[in-house]
């Protein structure tokens, strides 16, 4: 509903507890996109991207399953991966226009992503084999999110919710920067204010507080009608 995953593309995954396998949104005859994914369209796959369970006629892992398998291989701390193609973020990757830290007070988690640095994977190809997945994971490095030139984003988290909220935050950063540039010449918030936020947000890599993650997640569940209230 936020426009991060329009059409039928994009995929999310999560590690299976006590296993090397992952659960991933699959592609198949009944698919209608990330937003409308059903339980029947989720596959369990091995660290090599092969189907481990959930096999059904015509259902197959996404071609870019290697984004997920290789990020998990490189990052023990990552439990969930979101790969989507938000148009506004893609515009920044193809124009060389930098994202600027232009807000923080109402969304410190988005500012935090920005201040930690957001790497860009420079190739625009589908991540359709393990080597490309490995290269993408290397670009991501120790960060939480990565932009992919002319393609989309990969966001990570220690939960599905955290990975999804980081994808939403990255999109919000791009949306606000884009709109600011339509209006005029956006100015980053001051160094003094960034220093204040840095002190409050803690060291790079520190997770967003669980309370904030839960509250934000509740908000999105209710606003999309997925949960009542």
Position of tokens 């124009």?
Answer: 95
Size of the site for Zn ion (CB under 5 A): 1
Which residue number, 146 or 216, has a Cβ lying nearer to Zn ion?
Answer: 146
Q: How far apart are CA 40 and CA 58, in angstroms?
A: 12
Q: Are 93 and 155 in contact (CB under 8 A)?
A: no
The CB-of-3 to Zn ion minimum distance in angstroms stands at: 15
What tokens appear for 21 in the block?
Answer: 């396998």
Closest CA to 71 of 185, 154, 159, 177: 154
Phi first, then psi: give them for residue 160, nearest 5 degrees: -60, -40
The CB-of-151 to Zn ion minimum distance in angstroms stands at: 6
Which residue number, 27 or 144, has a Cβ lying nearer to Zn ion?
Answer: 27
Binding mask 179-208 for Zn ion (x = CB under 5 A): ------------------------------
The CB-of-14 to Zn ion minimum distance in angstroms stands at: 18
What separation, in Å, do the N-terminal and C-terminal C-alpha atoms of the chain show?
18
User: What part of residues 106-165 is at the interface with Zn ion (CB under 5 A)?
Assistant: 152
Phi first, then psi: give them for residue 80, nearest 5 degrees: -140, 145
Which of 31, 41, 64, 162 does the annotation list as catalytic? 64
Q: How far apart are CA 166 and CA 171, in angstroms?
A: 9
Position of tokens 């369970």?
Answer: 53
The region, left, alpha or beta by phi > 0 then psi within -120 to 50, assigned to residue 153 is: beta
Which residue number, 147 or 216, has a Cβ lying nearer to Zn ion?
Answer: 147
Which residue number, 24 or 111, has a Cβ lying nearer to Zn ion?
Answer: 24
Active site residue 64: yes
Using CB under 5 A, list all residues that contact Zn ion: 152
Active site residues: 64
């Amino acid at each position: 509903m936020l426009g991060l995953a329009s059409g039928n593309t994009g995929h999310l995954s999560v590690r299976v507890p006590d296993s090397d396998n992952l659960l991933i949104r699959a592609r198949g005859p009944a698919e209608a996109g990330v937003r409308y994914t059903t339980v029947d369209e989720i596959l369990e796959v091995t660290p090599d991207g092969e189907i481990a369970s959930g096999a059904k006629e015509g259902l197959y892992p996404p071609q870019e399953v290697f984004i997920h398998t290789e990020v998990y291989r490189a990052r023990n701390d990552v439990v969930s991966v979101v790969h989507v193609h938000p148009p506004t973020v893609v515009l920044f990757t193809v124009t060389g226009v930098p994202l600027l830290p232009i807000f923080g007070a109402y969304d410190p988690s988005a500012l935090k992503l920005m201040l930690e640095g957001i790497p860009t994977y420079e190739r625009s190809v589908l991540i359709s084999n393990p080597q490309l997945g490995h290269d993408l994971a290397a670009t991501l490095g120790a960060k939480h999110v990565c932009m992919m030139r002319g393609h989309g984003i990969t966001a990570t988290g220690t939960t599905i919710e955290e990975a999804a909220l980081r994808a939403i935050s990255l999109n919000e950063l791009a949306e606000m920067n884009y709109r600011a540039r339509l209006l005029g010449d956006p100015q980053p918030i001051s160094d003094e204010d960034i220093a204040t936020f840095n002190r409050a947000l803690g060291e790079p890599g520190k997770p967003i507080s669980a309370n904030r993650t839960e509250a934000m997640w509740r908000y999105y569940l209710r606003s999309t009608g997925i949960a009542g209230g």
